[in-house]
Amino acid sequence: MAASLYAADPPDAMREVEIEGLTLLYHRRSGLTHFLAPPAPQILAALAGGPAGAEAIAARIGEAFEIESEDPVAAIGARLAELEAAGLVWRT
């Protein structure tokens, strides 16, 4: 499977508030609010550095976090699909 590249709006297009480990994210362009659990906010933060595929996103997240997962790329791929369905990321 060819790795898709995903992009997200820049951080200033969103307003984030952390609540008890969850992130309440308001997406200005759509006017929608989302509740995100980790690692979704970290994926969006990683995409602030430009479009990337699941593997590159895992690498970016790995710079700041100790990733705990048997298959980081698959897990991030699943999260990307969710974020895509919510309109927060899209394929480039």
Partner 1 sequence: MSDRSDGADRDKGALPSRRVVLALGAAAASTVVTIRPALAQTAGSVLNCEIPVPAPQAGAGQFIAADGSLVPAGTAGAYPPLARPLKGEEVKAMLNGGRPPAGVDGEAAQAYANYIRRLQAGMSGFTCYASLQMPR
Residues at the interface with partner 1 (CB under 8 A): 20-21, 26, 28, 30-40, 42, 61, 64-69, 71-72, 74-79, 82-83, 85-86, 88
Structure tokens at 19: 């609540």
The 8-class DSSP code of residue 87 comes to T
Whole-number minimum distance, CB 25 to partner 1, in Å?
A: 9
Whole-number minimum distance, CB 68 to partner 1, in Å?
A: 4
Whole-number minimum distance, CB 82 to partner 1, in Å?
A: 5
DSSP 15-47: EEEEETTEEEEEETTTTEEEEE-TTHHHHHHHH
Whole-number minimum distance, CB 44 to partner 1, in Å?
A: 10
Give 49 or 65: the residue with its C-beta nearer to partner 1.
65
What gap in Å lies between CA 17 and CA 47, rounded to an integer? Answer: 18
Left if phi > 0, otherwise alpha if psi is -120 to 50, otherwise beta: which for 73?
A: alpha
